[in-house]
Amino acid sequence: MPSSGDPNTTDEFPPMAREEERVVLARRLPKAELHMHHVGSLAPSELARLHRQTTGVGLSRVEADAAYDLRSLGKFFDDLDKAVRLWGDEALVTEGVLRMIAGAYDRGVRHLELLCTPDLHRDEIGMEPDVLLRAVGEAFRVAGDELGLTGGIIIELHRFGGPRAALDLVEQTAALREKGVPILGYGNDGDHHTVPFEALAPAYERARAEGYRLTGHADVIEDVAAALDLGLDRIDHGWMGVDDPDVLRRLRATRTPMTFTPTAYALGGLVSRTGYVDAWRILDDSGVPLLLGTDDPELFHTDLAQDYALMANAVQWSNEQLGAAAKRSLEHAWFLDGDGAEVRAHWFAEIDALVADPRSPHRGRPTGC
Ligand SMILES: [Zn+2]
């Protein structure tokens, strides 16, 4: 702490090391989070709170540890199902999403696209898609009012359910946007071993015909090729495409934006011949827009600030490169109304100021401004 001096200047602070500046910037920079799953965002504190509320007893240490141990892919999906069961009604869903938004906002997220998988809620607790999506939408309405947060919902088609269920989901939900539910687009998730990506084509085509943008989880090379065949607007993961010369050529040609969730990869979330840091370098050098996200942040023990810091240190970014990554996330964000140019301009100015001085973006401004 400074011992004395003008409170409007930070000149007397000692200089920070490059690594220290990266960590501070990673948290403070205004960012768009474009790959964060609703059910993977059950924080340990929220788990403990809901557990006590629903069972009347506190969560034991063993139970708490077991909820986040990432033992296997099967366990991972079981944990997601358990999370769904804890948000048993609309009010709990809205409150839970508001807590997730608050956690993200406190780490610099100013635009959030939350990936919701309504089939999980219908299968686990009988909550219909429109009920879930209205409850999530209500949280975005409150967060917009209180925090100025933009963004909304990406509806995830569930790979397990197959093509008919995916098309049914689009048909049940596409009209909700007209009724005020902030739906930005459609994606897909779930175990990629179950149903081929291309089997979801009819559902995707229907969503596109309704005017929605499209993304989807590409967890193996075949998924990346299928996502490119379908002409998706964005691809989630997909970086393992660098292992196949033809897929890499197509990624370079289309420059399809890709979400990239490094802590999940560090923990072994996806495997490929090329490591994720090298894949980042190859794709970034090729002009493919890479957009940092958290995936299932609580299950992967991360948040967006941590993911920015992880990549910034892995590829030794300058402050300017960190700022560019944050701007890129906002450039490729989807907005409900218009193209978001005004929102971007606002946050870009804040990013430029923070890049110039991670400690205080207002340094040097006249007193009183
Ligand atoms: Zn994901």
10 CA to centre of ligand 1 in angstroms: 40
Nearest to 333, CA basis, from 224, 195, 234, 255? 234
Q: Where are the beta strands (DSSP E) in the chain?
A: 31-37, 109-116, 150-158, 183-189, 213-214, 217-218, 235-237, 258-260, 290-292
- CA 37 to ligand 1 center in whole angstroms: 6
DSSP code of 174? G
pLDDT of residue 361: 66
Angle in degrees, CA 108, 114, 116, rounded to 5:
160
CA 13 to ligand 1 center in whole angstroms = 41
> Considering its fold, how many domains does the chain have in total?
1
Render pLDDT for 111-156 as a digit per residue (tens, 0 to 9).
999 999 999 999 989 999 999 999 999 999 999 999 999 999 999 9
Distance of CA 30 to the CA centre of its chain: 14
Position 3 pLDDT exceeds 80: no
pLDDT higher than 60, residue 10? no
Round the average pLDDT of the chain to a whole number and report it: 91
Of the listed ranges 65-74, 200-209, 299-308, the least confidently predicted one is 65-74
Does residue 81 surpass a pLDDT of 70?
yes
| Residue 11, domain member (yes or no) | no
128 within some domain: yes
Confidence of residue 367 (pLDDT cuts 50, 70, 90): very low
Domain span holding position 212:
18-356
46 vs 157: which has the higher pLDDT: 157
Q: Can you give the pLDDT at residue 19? A: 92
In a domain, 41, yes or no: yes
> How far away, in angstroms, is 185 Cα from ligand 1 center?
15
- Which tokens hold the place of 124? 């686990």
Find the 218 Cα to ligand 1 centroid distance in Å: 9
Q: What is the pLDDT of residue 239?
A: 97
Cα 222 to ligand 1 centroid, rounded to whole Å = 17
pLDDT tens digit string along 15-34?
899 999 999 999 999 999 99
CA 179 to ligand 1 center in whole angstroms: 27
Position 100 scores a pLDDT of: 96
Average pLDDT of 259-274? 92
Answer whether residue 367 is part of any domain: no
Does residue 248 lie within any of the structural domains? yes
What is the Cα–Cα distance from 300 to 262, expressed in whole angstroms? 10
How many A from CA of 28 to the centre of ligand 1? 24
Residue 253 CA to ligand 1 center (angstroms) comes to 24
As given in the structure block, the two tokens for residue 267 are 């923990």
Which residues are placed with Cβ below 5 angstroms of ligand 1, an ion? 295
The CA 297 to ligand 1 mean position distance, Å, reads 10
Give residue 1's pLDDT band: very low, low, confident or very high (50, 70, 90). Answer: very low
Is 227 within a domain?
yes
pLDDT value, residue 70: 72
pLDDT at 359 over 80: yes
pLDDT tens by residue, 201-255: 999 999 999 999 999 999 999 999 999 999 999 999 999 999 999 999 999 999 9
Cα–Cα dist 261/276, whole Å:
9
- pLDDT confidence of residue 234: 98
Cα(286) to centroid(ligand 1), Å: 23
Quote the ligand 1 centre to 265 CA distance (angstroms).
Answer: 11
211 CA to middle of ligand 1, Å? 23
**Are the beta carbons of 160 and 115 closer than 8 angstroms?**
no
Q: Is the pLDDT score of 76 beyond 80?
A: no
Q: Does 115 reside within a domain?
A: yes
Domain CATH code at residue 168: 3.20.20.140
Output the CA 189–ligand 1 centroid distance in Å: 7
Residues 6+ apart with CB under 8 A from 242: 248, 251, 272, 274, 278, 279, 282, 283
* Centroid of ligand 1 to alpha carbon of 280 (angstroms): 17
C-alpha 190 to ligand 1 mean position (Å): 8
Query: What is the pLDDT at residue 363?
Result: 52
Q: Tell me whether residue 3 is in a domain.
A: no
